[in-house]
Amino acid sequence: MTNALRLMAVHAHPDDESSKGAATMARYAAEGVEVLVVTCTGGERGSILNPKMDRPDILENMGEVRRLEMERAREILGVDQRFLGFVDSGLPEDESEPLPEGCFALQPLEVASAPLVAAVREFRPHVILTYDDDGGYPHPDHIKTNRISVEAFDAAGDPDRYPGTGEPWQPLKMYFHSGFTKARFETLHEAMNSRGLGSPYADWIARWEDRPQKWEVTTRIPCGDYFETRDRALMAHATQVDPDGFWFACPREIQQEVWPTEDYHLARSLVDVTLPEDDLFAGIQVPAGTGAIPCS
């Protein structure tokens, strides 16, 4: 164990790490923070969302293809990554449709949480990134990812819980991703229109009452210099990301100018904080040993 600060990002599927918090992770990794992406499922039931990759041979091997995509994205971001080994639940078109037997979303909480608790105890993160309690959007695997992340945050430091999964370790802060806000997209929309580019966000903004913002943004991480790295990591997930699609609708230069941060909600903190923050590790310092303590 080194004395470096450590950041763990818990995600549901391969590609989620590149669409949520990727520039943040790339920045911290470049600055010497140890960063680990934990991917709960293999994305086996994902659809091909990039029309340029719509080939039957890929669908037959989706799990392996997405693992290879994840490895490329991991290398681009400069982070470590591991799979928890659960099976993708898919996203039913009809809410009444049952989920597949044995999938991640149907696992009992303690069964789904145990390998994440083990990963927390092994990696010893000071900060955990995850989704909010609605999953960021209501995919059953995203909601389950929130549940096990909260469980691991609360349980990993308790020696009486999850015996056999390693020595206890208590993370100090947990954040929810909060990048999809009305304020951000209004700002991008206005910036594109003011430059005569036209904006793809008008209809989405008009329907925003359908997706109210539940969590206050407490923390904005300046990482515009790493948006290019984020975009390359996204494009590494070639089955999931159309290079001519939504993720790249706003020119990177405009994003860097008008909204050069990735944004979060501080959901848990065992250290004293002053809000708003511009650093996930605010209030934490690493002493000469291998643990971490609050800043005095």
Compute the residue count for the chain. Answer: 296
d(CA 103, CA 82): 18
Which helix (H) or strand (E) segment holds residue 40: the answer is strand 34-41
- Binding residues for Zn(2+), by number, are 13, 16, 142
d(CA 190, CA 185): 8
The answer to whether 256 and 245 are in contact (CB under 8 A) is no
Instruction: Give the up-direction half-sphere exposure of residue 154: CA atoms within 13 A in the CB hemisphere.
Output: 9
d(CA 71, CA 83): 11
